[in-house]
Structures are given as C-alpha cells and as structure tokens.
Amino acid sequence: MDDPDSTVGVRVAAAIPLLQAALEHAVTAAGLHLVPRGQASPATLRTPDQPATGAPFDISVDVEHITIAITELPSPDLWSATLNLLRQLLDGAEQRTSS
C-alpha cells in the first residue's frame, strides 16, 4: 500500500450522521485529513444527495456506485491519496457484500 499523505485534505458531506461518520473513517483510514465544512479542499467525498463543492476532485458514493469528477489535473500526491481512499471505500463495500 502507498504511504498515506496526511497533507491531502478531503471534505466529507453526507446528510445522514452515521454515513458521514463512515465516510470520515474511510478518509482517516486512508491516511488523509478531514477538512471542516466551509473550507476549501482539493477533494470532496460526498453522497449524491449533497451538492458538489467545486473541488478539483469530487467523489460521490452510494451503495452501488462511486463517481469521480475531475476538473483539474491532480498532483501525483492527490492521485496517490485518492487511490488510498478508493481502496478504503472498495474494501468496505467488499466486506459488506461478503458478510
């Protein structure tokens, strides 16, 4: 696994508090840091019921899909951080379906 990069910040947005906590856990488990609501971040991890924030990397997740919208060429650090985050999300989904 790549080294986590705690300098890459991710803003998390979900309407349901438990889902918000699960997404925040995925971010921290990937070695990234959480950006408080209202602050700019290079990436947003959100549920489809939450609006996009205009972050260069916008990741929308639901039970069946992960959608990534990229509006700027990401740095190598952001690519690596995103891969770590996707691993966390997909590993969690795999564990839920195999139970």
Per-residue pLDDT of the chain (99 residues; tens, 9 = 90+): 344 455 789 999 999 999 999 999 999 999 899 999 888 889 999 999 999 988 999 999 998 889 999 999 888 888 888 899 999 888 865 555 555
CB-based contacts of 41: which residues, under 8 Å, 6+ apart?
A: 9, 10, 11, 35, 53, 55
What's the CA gap between 4 and 50, in Å, rounded? 26
Domain ranges of the chain: 9-89
pTM: 0.83
Residue 16: closest CA among 64, 58, 48, 39: 48
Report which DSSP code applies to 56. Answer: S
